C-alpha cells in the first residue's frame, strides 16, 4: 500500500504543469510562454523533491528527471539549466548520504536528457522517444545506486524494480503527451478562432459594400446635376448639403466597422455596454438588411457600465447578432427579426438576443459553446466558443432557450461595474 501511495503521489506531482496550464490558459487567447514553463516546472520539482519516496536514509526518489526533460522540451535549454540549478541547491539543502551520488546521477541524466530532447524535436515517433527517456531515467539511477551501495538495492528490490520505473515511465509519457495534446488543441483553437473572426468580419464587409454604395450613388447623382449647369443658388446649396450628409454617413459607417474589426486586446477596463451595443447595431444593420432581417435594439438612455475587454465584447456582440441573422435567413417566406434588449436590475446587466429563426433542438442548445460544435454545416463553432469563454472571463453567464422552428433567445448576464467597486478593490489591495 505504501509503494502504491508513493507512485500515485509522484504521478500527481508530474501532472501539475499540465493542470496549471489547463486552468491558467483555459480562457486565454494565447498559448504558453517560456516563463510559464520555467515557473510551473520549478514549483513541481520543489514539491516532488520535498515529498520524495525513501527506503534508505539519505536516498530520495521522485520525478525530478521527468520534470527536467519536460522543461527542456517546452521551455528550452535556459529552463533546463534553471531546473538543474534548483535541483543542486535544494539537494545540498536536503543533504544525506546519497547527496554525492545524486549529483553524479543528475549530471549523467541531464546530459542524456539534452540528447533525447534534440532527438524528440526531430523525431516523428515522439511516443517512442518518451518511452526511451522513461527507461533511461529508470535504469540510470538504479545502476549508479547499485554500484555505490548494492545492499540498499538488494534489500529493497521490489521498490527499485517497481516504483522507480513506474514513476519515470508513466510520469514521463503522461505529462509530456497530455501537455503536448493540450498545447496542440490550444494552437488549433487560436488559429481557427482568428480564421472565424476574419470570416465574420469579411461577411460584414460584404454587406457594407452595399450600404456604402447607396450614399455614394446619391452623391454622384447630385454632383452630376450641379455639373450639368444648375443655376439656382438655393438648389445648389441644398444639393451640397445632401452630399455632405451622405458623406458623413459613409464615414460613420466605415469608422464603426474599423472599430469592430481592429485587433483584440487583453486588458479589461470599465466599458459602456450601451454604447458598444449601438455601435455594433449600426455596423451589423447592413448585414441584416442584406438578409432581409429586421434588427431592433432597446436599451436605457444612460450608460451601462461593465468591467470587460471592449474589443472582446464587440466581437461577442458581432458573433451573436451574425448567428441570429443567419438563423432568420434560413426560414423561408418569413420576415426575419432580431431583437436586442439591454436592462439593468439588481446589480446585474441583462442582455437578451432573440430571433425568430430556425431554432435548435435541446441537445444542440446544450452543446453550444463547446469547441468545434456548430449548428451550421459550414461552421466551426469557434465563434460561439470564443463568445462563451469571453463572457465567462467577464464574470458573466449565458443561458439559451430555443425550439426548432420557433427561434432562439440568448440571455447574457454580467455584473454591473460601479466606481465604489473599484474603490473597494483599491482599499483591499
Contact 293, 333 (CB under 8 A): no
* DSSP assignment letter at 334: S
How many residues would you count in the chain?
429
Nearest to 321 by CA among 198, 193, 191, 200: 200
Nine-digit cell at 314?
A: 464587440
pLDDT per 10-residue tile (average), the chain, 429 residues: 73 86 77 90 91 76 89 92 93 87 92 92 88 90 87 80 82 89 80 63 64 69 72 75 76 64 71 89 81 89 89 85 87 82 90 91 74 50 74 89 89 84 46
Nearest to 145 by CA among 45, 60, 86: 60
Spatial distance between the Cα atoms of 165 and 157, rounded to a whole number of angstroms: 12
- Residue located via cell numbers 433567445: 409
337 three-class SS: strand
Q: In what order do the strands lie in the sheet containing 293-298?
A: 293-298, 336-345, 348-355, 407-415, 397-403
Contact 104, 87 (CB under 8 A): no
Query: What DSSP assignment string belongs to 2-70?
Result: HHHHHHHHHHHHHTHHHHHHHHHTTT-SS---HHHHHHHHHHHHHHHHHT-EEEETTEEE-SHHHHHHH
Q: Residue 299, Cβ neighbours under 10 Å: how many? A: 19
Spatial distance between the Cα atoms of 375 and 364, rounded to a whole number of angstroms: 7
Pairing state between β 348-355 and 336-345: antiparallel
Nine-digit cell at 158?
A: 521490489
Q: Cα dihedral angle (142, 145, 151, 154), rounded to 10 degrees?
A: 0
| Burial of residue 204 (number of CB atoms within 10 Å: 0-12, 13-18, 19+) | buried
Spatial distance between the Cα atoms of 311 and 274, rounded to a whole number of angstroms: 14
| Burial of residue 122 (number of CB atoms within 10 Å: 0-12, 13-18, 19+) | exposed
Nine-digit cell at 260?
A: 469592430
Q: What pLDDT was estimated at residue 84? A: 93
What residue ranges define each of the domains in the chain, with the CATH number in brackets? Answer: 2-193 (no CATH), 265-425 (3.30.565.10)
Residue-wise burial string across 41-73, b where 16 or more C-beta atoms lie within 10 A, e elsewhere: bbbbbebbbeebbebbeebbbbbbbbbbbbbbb
Nearest to 390 by CA among 326, 293, 315: 315
Contact 152, 145 (CB under 8 A): yes
Which residues, other chains included, contact 163 with Cβ-Cβ below 8 Å and sequence gap of 6+? 3, 6, 7, 53, 61
If you compute the radius of gyration of the chain from its CA atoms, what whole number of angstroms results? 31
Amino acid at each position: 500500500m505504501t509503494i502504491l501511495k508513493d507512485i500515485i503521489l509522484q504521478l500527481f506531482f508530474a501532472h501539475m504543469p499540465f493542470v496549471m496550464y489547463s486552468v491558467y490558459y483555459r480562457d486565454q487567447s494565447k498559448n504558453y510562454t517560456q516563463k510559464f514553463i520555467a515557473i510551473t516546472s520549478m514549483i513541481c520539482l520543489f514539491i516532488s523533491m520535498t515529498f520524495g519516496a525513501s527506503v534508505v536514509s539519505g536516498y530520495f526518489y521522485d520525478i525530478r528527471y521527468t520534470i527536467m526533460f519536460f522543461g527542456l522540451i517546452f521551455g528550452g535549454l535556459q529552463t533546463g539549466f534553471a531546473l538543474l540549478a534548483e535541483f543542486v541547491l535544494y539537494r545540498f539543502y536536503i543533504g544525506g548520504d546519497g547527496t554525492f551520488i545524486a549529483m553524479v546521477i543528475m549530471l549523467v541524466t541531464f546530459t542524456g536528457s539534452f540528447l533525447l530532447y534534440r532527438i524528440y524535436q526531430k523525431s516523428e515517433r515522439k511516443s517512442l522517444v518518451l518511452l526511451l527517456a522513461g527507461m533511461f531515467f529508470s535504469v540510470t539511477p538504479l545502476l549508479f545506486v547499485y554500484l555505490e551501495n548494492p545492499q540498499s538495492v538488494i534489500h529493497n528490490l521490489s521498490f527499485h524494480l517497481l516504483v522507480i520505473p513506474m514513476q519515470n515511465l508513466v510520469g514521463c509519457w503522461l505529462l509530456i503527451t497530455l501537455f503536448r495534446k493540450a498545447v496542440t488543441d490550444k494552437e488549433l483553437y487560436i488559429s481557427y478562432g482568428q480564421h472565424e473572426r476574419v470570416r465574420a468580419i469579411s461577411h460584414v464587409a460584404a454587406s457594407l459594400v452595399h450600404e456604402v454604395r447607396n450614399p455614394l450613388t446619391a452623391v454622384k447623382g447630385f454632383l452630376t446635376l450641379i455639373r450639368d449647369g444648375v443655376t439656382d443658388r438655393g438648389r445648389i446649396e441644398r444639393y451640397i448639403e445632401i452630399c455632405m450628409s451622405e458623406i458623413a454617413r459613409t464615414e460613420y459607417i466605415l469608422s464603426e466597422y474599423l472599430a469592430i474589426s481592429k485587433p483584440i486586446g487583453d486588458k479589461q477596463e470599465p466599458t459602456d455596454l450601451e454604447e458598444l451595443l449601438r455601435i455594433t447595431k449600426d455596423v451589423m444593420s447592413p448585414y441584416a438588411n442584406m438578409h432581409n432581417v429586421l434588427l431592433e435594439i432597446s436599451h436605457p438612455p444612460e450608460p451601462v457600465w461593465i468591467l470587460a475587454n471592449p474589443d472582446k465584447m464587440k466581437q461577442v456582440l458581432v458573433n451573436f447578432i451574425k448567428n441570429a441573422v443567419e438563423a432568420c435567413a434560413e426560414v423561408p417566406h418569413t420576415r426575419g427579426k432580431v431583437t436586442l434588449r439591454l436592462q439593468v436590475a439588481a446589480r446585474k446587466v441583462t442582455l437578451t438576443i432573440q430571433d425568430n429563426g430556425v431554432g435548435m433542438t435541446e441537445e444542440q442548445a446544450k452543446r453550444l459553446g463547446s469547441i468545434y460544435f456548430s449548428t451550421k454545416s459550414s461552421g466551426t463553432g469557434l465563434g460561439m466558443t470564443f463568445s462563451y469563454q469571453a463572457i465567462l472571463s467577464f464574470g458573466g453567464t449565458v443561458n439559451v432557450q430555443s425550439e426548432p422552428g420557433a427561434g432562439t433567445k440568448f440571455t447574457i448576464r454580467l455584473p454591473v461595474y460601479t466606481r465604489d467597486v473599484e474603490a473597494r478593490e483599491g482599499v483591499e489591495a
